Amino acid sequence: MIHPSPDVTPTLPAKPTLNPTPPPPNPNPTVTRWQEVKDRGRAQRAPPRTPDAFAEALRIGVELGELQVPQKEDVALISRIYRDAFTTAMQAVTELQNPFLGWGDVAGIALCEGLAHAHEHGGLQKLKRLDLKGNRLGDATVNHLVNLAHQYGLANLECLSLGSNAISDQGMRSLASAVARGSLPSCTSIELAGNPGSAAPVQEALTQRQKSANASPDPARPPRAAEQARAGTSPTISPLRQKANALFGRKPKSS
């Protein structure tokens, strides 16, 4: 027996929406360009913490359950490892490159505190270049750098790059005073272009220091007797030779 086929109602396509709702943005989009990788990596970089600050942050994180360690007793061990690594790294470092990180004065001061701790423990002796250009560092960071310089923590620094930051005239004057006082004795290049303040006082201090260095006599070369005579001074004679000259009626020899 043949049964009749049931009625089949064709399914019509849905009417297209004139203004479709876009899909929600991906909270973790895939980064495909190398420049984006670099920029996102920079945004996550923070200044090196002092060993004390690291130990305190680790202790609090473990107590709050935000950080996990195998045993709570490991906190002291991890802190000691960090302290040793920090000290070793700061004793060997020759360059610190931290440009274009978006750091403000909070990060800048934290960096200076780390450098001050390193200096107090024998570090920074090999540091030649400090690059902080392209951030948002202001006068507060400069004041901390100047304080470190006054403690001769940057005695061997040759190049300081602070261009394209937020340093005002006050910060420039503070930096110029450090140069004039000899707190940056090895520094011959200070890059300051792109800041709100004028770099003229700093450049003038560098120029005056160079002029003074050129005018100073070489301390390793004592003046000759003839030069001393022209200057109205006499060559130094030992007390023993003075007695011998007086005993035998000798006149001092000129060299």
Evaluate if residue 227 carries a pLDDT over 50: no
At 24-76, the pLDDT tens digits run: 555 555 555 655 555 555 556 899 999 999 999 999 999 999 999 999 889 99
pLDDT of residue 251: 59
At 122-179, the pLDDT tens digits run: 999 999 999 999 999 999 999 999 999 999 999 999 999 999 999 999 999 999 999 9
Band (226; pLDDT cuts 50, 70, 90): very low
Evaluate if residue 236 carries a pLDDT over 80: no
DSSP state string for 22-50: PPPPPSSPPP--HHHHHHHHHHT--PPPP
pLDDT of residue 214: 83
Q: Name the token pair of 61.
A: 């994180």
Q: Taking all residues of the chain, what is their mean pLDDT, rounded to a whole number? A: 82
Evaluate if residue 230 carries a pLDDT over 50: no
Band (255; pLDDT cuts 50, 70, 90): very low
How many residues does the structure list for the chain? Answer: 255
DSSP state string for 123-192: --TT--EEE-TTS---HHHHHHHHHHHHTTTTTT--EEE--SS---HHHHHHHHHHHHTTSSTT--EEE-
Range 93-214 has CATH code 2.30.40.10: no
d(CA 46, CA 110): 9
Domain boundaries, the chain: 47-92, 93-214
At 74-121, the pLDDT tens digits run: 999 999 999 999 999 999 999 999 999 999 999 999 999 999 999 999
Band (228; pLDDT cuts 50, 70, 90): very low
pLDDT of residue 212: 87
User: For residues 173 and 203, is the Cβ–Cβ distance under 8 A?
Assistant: no
**193 phi and psi angles, rounded to 5 deg:** -65, 145
User: For residues 215 and 182, is the Cβ–Cβ distance under 8 A?
Assistant: no
d(CA 115, CA 148): 8
